[in-house]
Amino acid sequence: IPWQDVLEAMTGSRDMSTLPLQEFFKPLITYLTAENTKNDEFIGWDINWKPPETPPQVQESLKSAAFDLEARANVSKFDWTNFDPDVMRQLQKIYYIGSSALEGDDLIEYENILADMEQIYSTAKVCESESICIPLDPDLTRLMATSRDYDELKWAWEGWRRETGPEMKDMYENFVTLANKAAKVNDQPDMGAYWRSWYEVDDLKADSMRLWEQLRPFYEQLHAYVRGRLSEHYGESLVDPKRPIPAHLLGNMWAQSWGNILDLVLPYPGKTSIDVTPALVDQGYDALRMFNISEEFFTSLGLIPSPQSFWDDTMFVKPTDGRDVVCHASAWDFYNAKDIRIKMCTSINMEDLITIHHEMGHTQYFLQYKDQPVVYRRGANPGFHEAVGDLLALSVSTPDHLHQIGLLDTVEDDAEADINFLMSMALDKIAFLPFGLLMDLWRWDVFEGLTTKDSYTEAWWKLRNDIQGVEAPVERSDEAGHFDPGAKYHIPGNTPYIRYFISHVLQFQMHRSLCETAGNTRSLHQCDIYRSKEAGKKLGDMLKLGSSKKWPEALEAITGSREMDASAIVDYFKPLMTWLEEKNEEKGYVVGWSDTGITMKPTTMVTVMLAVCTSWLMAV
Ligand SMILES: C[C@H](N[C@H](C(=O)O)[C@@H]1CCCN1C(=O)[C@@H](N)CC(=O)O)C(=O)N1CCC[C@H]1C(=O)O
Ligand SMILES: [Zn+2]
């Protein structure tokens, strides 16, 4: 019906009228009229009006005031000081959007380079003949884990690097240029600085090096023992007992975890093995059943069960329909507060059982912080996100737990079995530390422009030698077109890596605290928080925070401390470190490495120098 009928129905009048409005504001209008008259205010406006000339001294003060405003405007794009802290935190996370800040052709080229590098990595195969070419997952991975043939391992190691790096090398240089362009739009000098900014600390590199200095002595002891045993197995001509270890003999394509050569370095071979791979195979485990081991552990702590959509939509195994998929395991949040998935080409072995826990640590975090604003649906810092799954796997990996779930038929609780177990854990957790550190030491230098394309490989192998004490089994050089960093998923995948190093420190700190919460009375390395609802509640409450609070607050919620510190991982491995020091001494295994193969302990070096000086003085 026409609006007039509606108006009449409400007001009795069919016409719009301004009287009610005037009546409402009458007192104010009366007041304003009186005030303007009293103050002789000019009513209305005259478009030809010009302000009177500002007296000179007033001009000066206006100019300086303007300068102050200008100065403040230049200090930071936003004057954050007068926002509510939480609003300020959310605005910063909305404002700084990383590579998405690129525009037009830059963004298209950036995304295309990433897609091209991922394509190369995920479809690369090494051919052993015209017709037989094998992919990384599962074939080359299995070969690196199980072969004990020096030359076969070298063939796979070199082949994988030939099929991945060289084709990416030029792309990567262009990628770095664009990434740094994006970083500048995010008020950072380069992409490495932008990545480090997520940790909200003054100097993440210095913090990481400090943690590494605390842990390096333990790594050197493990490295010495493993090299000694490998040298005995392969012979000194292939494994020099004083040089860095050849990188292809450590059971992993990147020598980042050495668990697969446990059989070659097991301290007490007579004891029952803690490698449950045979049990998984013998008991007919499939991928789904392995995922359920992890799911059951998480829910035993009272954590959130995976939704049905997770089970429906996750890719558990490599497709058999010939599709090329990215097999490198990954976990995904669809940011709709319900859809989460994992993509994995699961193999039936212990290593993948641990990886499953790692990935389900991510999906548990997604579930826990799903009600946060989207900008807060992140780890407290990226290291936290990487620590969750590994943290729970520390309990699952204990012989007692594996026995409890039927994957170990006997458990021996004596000192030798303990050392065997600690060795298996150290081959993953301690061996990983230098690799977890050096990946971004290399990349930060590249983003900073300290390492350029013509020295990518040289810089990479310098870090691999100096920090990790491994060396290439064959000549590697930039001149030959090699680009060995491209052989590791996270470089073409452009996933930062220091997060895994940080995680290896955090997960033991959290484990120590949750074990106390769970009432553990045994040694830290024997602790299993299975079914502890108290531990689960503490963990869940921290995960719910997402990145809404600075990470020291999240860490404090679990450990009572606001500092990352390596004391927990040192406590956990203490019995093994004592054993290694004694064993290395007893066996005469040299600790440390140098390119010349001549390694001197500091005490020896001083003695030699004194001798030289004395003889020189005598001569003079
Ligand atoms: C196997 C694992 N795959 C990664 C992970 O799970 O971190 C994948 C690929 C890169 C990021 N990613 C994700 O799933 C993210 N979407 C998770 C998130 O941040 O939400 C991995 O790469 N690992 C585990 C041990 C060390 C390292 C390695 O294998 O070298
Ligand atoms: Zn992860």
Encode pLDDT of 263-302 as tens digits. 999 999 988 778 899 999 999 999 999 999 999 999 999 9
Is the predicted pLDDT of residue 84 greater than 50, yes or no?
A: yes
369 alpha carbon, distance to own chain's centre: 18
Cβ 368 vs Cβ 543: under 8 Å:
yes
**What tokens does 459 get?**
């810089």
495 lines ligand 1 (CB under 6 A): yes
Q: Are strands 125-127 and 470-471 parallel, antiparallel or unpaired?
A: unpaired
Pseudo-torsion of CA 335, 379, 422, 156, nearest 10°? Answer: 60
493 lines ligand 1 (CB under 6 A): yes
CA distances to 24, 41, 491 from 33, rounded to whole Å, are: 16, 10, 73
Q: What is the pLDDT of residue 72?
A: 52
Q: What are phi and psi of 445, to 5 degrees?
A: -65, -35
pTM of the model as a whole = 0.85
* CB-count exposure of residue 307 (10 Å: 0-12, 13-18, 19+): middle
Q: What are phi and psi of 287, to 5 degrees?
A: -55, -45
Q: What is the pLDDT of residue 599?
A: 45
Residue owning the nearest CA to atom 13 of ligand 1: 330
Q: Above pLDDT 70, what percent of the chain?
A: 91
- Tally of residues, the chain: 620
Q: DSSP letters along 196-212, please?
A: HHTT-SS-HHHHHHHHH
pLDDT digits (tens, 9 = 90+) for 7-20: 999 999 999 999 99
In single-letter form, the type of residue at position 26 comes to K
Atom of ligand 1 nearest to the CA of 500: 26
360 lines ligand 1 (CB under 6 A): no
Residue appearing with tokens 């405007």: 73
Ligand nearest to the CA of 547: 1
Question: What pLDDT band is residue 73 in, cutting at 50, 70 and 90?
Answer: low
- Separation of CA 357 and ligand 2 centre (Å): 10
Q: What is the mean pLDDT of residues 537-546?
A: 98
ipTM of the complex: 0.99
Ligand nearest to the CA of 387: 2
Ligand 1, residues 358, 367, 507: which to mutate, most atoms within 8 A of Cβ? 358
Catalytic residue ranges: 328-329, 358-359, 362, 386, 490, 500
pLDDT digits (tens, 9 = 90+) for 136-185: 999 999 999 999 999 999 999 999 999 999 999 999 999 999 999 999 99
SS3 of residue 466 by DSSP: helix
Q: What is the mean pLDDT of residues 39-58?
A: 79
Is the predicted pLDDT of residue 403 greater than 90, yes or no?
A: yes
Dist CA 20 CA 26 (whole Å) = 10
State the chain's maximal CA–CA distance in angstroms.
124
Q: Name the DSSP class of 308.
A: H
Cβ 340 vs Cβ 331: under 8 Å:
yes
Dist CA 43 CA 338 (whole Å) = 61
Q: Name the DSSP class of 136.
A: I
